[in-house]
């Protein structure tokens, strides 16, 4: 069932490929457009700006240099509210995938793709796109509280080195922003910053996703394919959610990090790859240091430097500036007039514990900008009173008294609340139990005000 209002464009001349992708994505996104020729792109953009573009890199038969796709990518990146781009290529060509990433594509997929991976790539592109205004530059890591100043000092100290960095903190505290800030302040800034959600990598394709594969190495390996390590060569690989990696995957990652080289599936020789590793997890440290959960030898490789990003409730001095920043961002994005916060709203939001941290604050600001009707923002516009709903038993609807949509919506909310309770608040685990990506779960939490 389509549950997002995002607009997705598939720009690919292969009708079968475009049709397969459209059918898959239509289950979740109501608005999926297909275009078979980049020449039609300017007219389409003038009519309807997409949120995410799946962009083939080669169109003219026989052409494999990617020039047509890269030109379309440049055009997309020049748009005032540029869509997120996922480059698609049938020719698993590392330099071309890397070139697309360097020119602003957020991710790449090689054909034929794994359906779950395609869905997850679109979800993360949407999530990242929403976050773009705050993530564009190092200075976007806001906060003048003493703990955030200490975090920034650590970033400045560690960025110029080659040290692997482990970023710890609850969901939504800004771990990815910290990782980007390290990359942006390092000598690798001009190279790729590639985030990989380690919790979302299927066990069966773990090696091929990370290290790549050679044509014919397994039934579906119809072409050589680069892995994330090769794609991030020279840059920074951000291993997100490492705490959700199965132990088997941990062993494979350890070998790559120890040897500083990776062996694509089916290859007879290892390749050395120069990547800087920044990793992150929301696992609490007691769990992370439990050998039954995480291999100590891998942890030792990853945590040369540890940066702890404190939850927002421990740095209330940052709340006010973050509120104003995100209200400004969304007022500009939605073309709404600038409005002040009422004194009561300011006090209530300042005292709020923000269990979802800065991500929740950002979502609350977006809601307020869209829904707030008064001259000033009132506390109700932020709908933050419902934050504990995930652990509060929800009322069971009485048959016949609610309409079908309300029932479905309630069921979904119940399922999410139950999954979260069972996963003890671990978003990745709850998302996996529900069969959706983390990004999709975040959107649903937002939708239900959880
Ligand atoms: N210090 C900050 N200043 C401005 N925006 C922030 C800050 N910290 C987080 N954000 C915003 O909050 C959102 C969540 O941040 P981010 O994705 O970096 O968190 P995370 O800790 O990596 O989350 P998760 O654990 O769920 O992956 C993003 O939109 C980000 O831009």
60-110 confidence digits (pLDDT tens): 888 888 889 999 998 888 776 789 999 987 755 667 877 888 788 888 888
Kindly report the pTM of this predicted structure: 0.66
Specify the pLDDT at position 121.
87
Which of 157, 232, 257, 241 is CA-nearest to residue 197?
241
Tokens in use for 370?
């869209």
Q: Are 296 and 204 within one domain?
A: yes
From ligand 1's centre to the CA of 176, what distance in Å?
A: 6
Q: Are 175 and 281 within one domain?
A: yes
Q: Are 363 and 320 within one domain?
A: yes
From ligand 1's centre to the CA of 367, what distance in Å?
A: 17
d(CA 149, CA 143): 7
Q: Are 163 and 224 within one domain?
A: yes
Q: Are 175 and 43 within one domain?
A: no
Q: Are 195 and 79 within one domain?
A: no
Q: What is the DSSP letter of 308?
A: E
Q: Are 371 and 351 within one domain?
A: yes
Residue 131 Cβ inside 6 Å of ligand 1? The answer reads yes
- Residues 385-394 pLDDT 10s: 644 333 333 3
Specify the pLDDT at position 404.
47
Specify the pLDDT at position 389.
36
- Helix, strand, or coil (residue 189): coil
Q: Which among 87, 113, 132 is the end of a domain?
A: 132
Tokens in use for 360?
């929740």
User: What is the span of the domain harbouring residue 91?
Assistant: 4-132
* Dihedral (CA of 359, 366, 353, 423) sign: negative
pLDDT by 10s per residue, the chain, length 450:
455 678 999 999 988 889 999 999 998 888 899 999 999 998 888 788 899 999 999 888 888 888 899 999 988 887 767 899 999 877 556 678 778 887 888 888 887 888 888 888 898 888 766 544 433 333 378 999 999 999 999 999 999 999 999 999 999 999 999 999 999 899 998 888 999 988 888 888 888 889 988 887 777 777 778 889 998 999 999 999 999 888 889 999 999 999 989 999 898 999 999 999 999 999 988 899 999 999 999 999 999 999 999 999 999 999 999 999 999 988 887 888 999 999 999 999 999 999 999 999 998 998 899 888 899 999 999 988 644 333 333 333 333 344 445 566 677 777 788 888 877 777 877 887 776 777 778 777 776 767
Task: Read off the CATH number of the domain in which 238 is found.
Answer: 3.40.50.300
Q: Are 83 and 215 within one domain?
A: no
From ligand 1's centre to the CA of 127, what distance in Å?
A: 11
Q: Are 155 and 178 within one domain?
A: yes
Q: Are 110 and 193 within one domain?
A: no
Residue of minimum CA distance from atom 29 in ligand 1: 131
Q: Where are the beta strands (DSSP E) in 121-192?
A: 165-168
d(CA 405, CA 410): 8
Instruction: Give the burial string for 39-59 (b: 16+ CB within 10 Å, else e).
Output: eebeebbeeebbbbbbbbbbb
Specify the pLDDT at position 217.
77
Specify the pLDDT at position 136.
38
Q: Which among 78, 105, 132 is the end of a domain?
A: 132
Give me the numbers of helices (H) and strands (E) for the chain, helices first please.
18, 12
From ligand 1's centre to the CA of 141, what distance in Å?
A: 8
Task: Read off the CATH number of the domain in which 347 is found.
Answer: 1.10.8.60
Does the interface predicted TM-score (ipTM) exceed 0.85?
Answer: yes
Q: Are 158 and 304 within one domain?
A: yes
CB 278 within 8 A of CB 182: yes
Q: Where are the alpha helices (DSSP H) in 200-295?
A: 206-211, 228-231, 247-259, 285-288
Number of domains, the chain: 4
- Helix, strand, or coil (residue 35): strand
Residue 264 Cβ inside 6 Å of ligand 1? The answer reads no
CA angle at residue 324 from 320 to 328, to 5 degrees? 170
Q: What is the DSSP letter of 11?
A: E
Residue of minimum CA distance from atom 8 in ligand 1: 174
Residue 358 Cβ inside 6 Å of ligand 1? The answer reads yes
Which of 291, 315, 293, 11 is CA-nearest to residue 152?
315
**114 Cβ neighbours under 8 A, 6+ residues apart:** 202, 205
- In angstroms, the Cα distances linking 64 to 59, 67, 215 are 9, 8, 17
Q: Which among 368, 385, 402 is the end of a domain?
A: 385
Q: Are 271 and 420 within one domain?
A: no
d(CA 41, CA 307): 43
Task: Read off the CATH number of the domain in which 65 is found.
Answer: 3.40.50.2300
Residue 143 Cβ inside 6 Å of ligand 1? The answer reads yes
Specify the pLDDT at position 95.
74
Task: Read off the CATH number of the domain in which 396 is found.
Answer: 1.10.10
CB 102 within 8 A of CB 85: no
């Amino acid at each position: 069932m389509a549950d997002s209002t995002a607009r997705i464009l598939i720009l690919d001349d292969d009708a079968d490929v475009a049709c397969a992708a459209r059918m898959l994505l239509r289950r979740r996104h109501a608005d999926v457009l297909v275009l078979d020729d980049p020449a039609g792109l300017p007219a389409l953009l003038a009519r309807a700006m997409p949120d995410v573009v799946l962009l083939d890199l080669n169109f003219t038969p026989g052409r494999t240099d990617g020039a047509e796709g890269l030109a379309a990518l440049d055009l997309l990146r020049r748009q005032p509210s540029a869509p997120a781009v996922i480059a698609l290529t049938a020719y698993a060509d590392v330099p071309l995938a890397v070139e697309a990433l360097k020119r602003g594509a957020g991710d790449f997929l090689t054909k034929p793709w794994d359906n779950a991976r395609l869905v997850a790539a679109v979800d993360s592109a949407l999530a990242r796109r929403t976050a773009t205004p705050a993530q564009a530059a190092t200075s976007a890591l806001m906060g003048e509280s003493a703990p955030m100043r200490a975090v920034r000092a650590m970033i400045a100290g560690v960025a110029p080195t080659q040290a692997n960095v482990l970023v710890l903190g609850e969901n939504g505290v800004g771990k990815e922003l910290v990782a980007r800030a390290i990359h942006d302040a390092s000598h690798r800034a001009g190279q790729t910053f590639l985030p990989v959600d380690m919790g979302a990598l299927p066990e069966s394709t773990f090696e091929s996703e990370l290290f790549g594969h050679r044509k014919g190495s397994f039934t579906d390996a119809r072409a050589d394919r680069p892995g994330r390590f090769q794609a991030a060569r020279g840059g920074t690989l951000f291993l997100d959610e490492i705490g959700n990696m199965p132990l088997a995957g941990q062993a494979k990652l350890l070998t790559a990090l120890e040897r500083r080289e990776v062996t694509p599936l089916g290859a007879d020789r290892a390749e050395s790859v120069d990547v800087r590793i920044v990793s992150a997890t929301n696992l609490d440290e007691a769990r992370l240091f439990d050998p039954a959960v995480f291999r100590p030898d891998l942890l030792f490789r990853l945590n040369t430097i540890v940066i702890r990003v404190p939850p927002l409730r421990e740095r209330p001095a940052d709340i006010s500036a973050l509120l104003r920043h995100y209200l400004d961002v969304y007022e500009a994005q939605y073309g709404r007039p600038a409005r002040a916060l009422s004194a009561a709203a300011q006090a209530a939001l300042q005292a709020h514990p923000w269990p979802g941290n800065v991500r929740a604050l950002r979502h609350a600001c977006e809601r307020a900008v869209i829904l707030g009707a008064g001259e000033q923002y009132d506390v109700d516009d932020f709908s933050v009173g419902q934050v504990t709903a995930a652990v509060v038993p929800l009322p069971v609807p009485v048959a016949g008294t609610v309409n079908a949509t309300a029932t479905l919506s309630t069921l979904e909310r119940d399922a999410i609340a139950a999954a979260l309770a069972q996963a003890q608040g671990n978003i990745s685990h709850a998302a996996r139990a529900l069969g959706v990506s983390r990004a999709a779960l975040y959107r649903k939490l937002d939708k239900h005000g959880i």
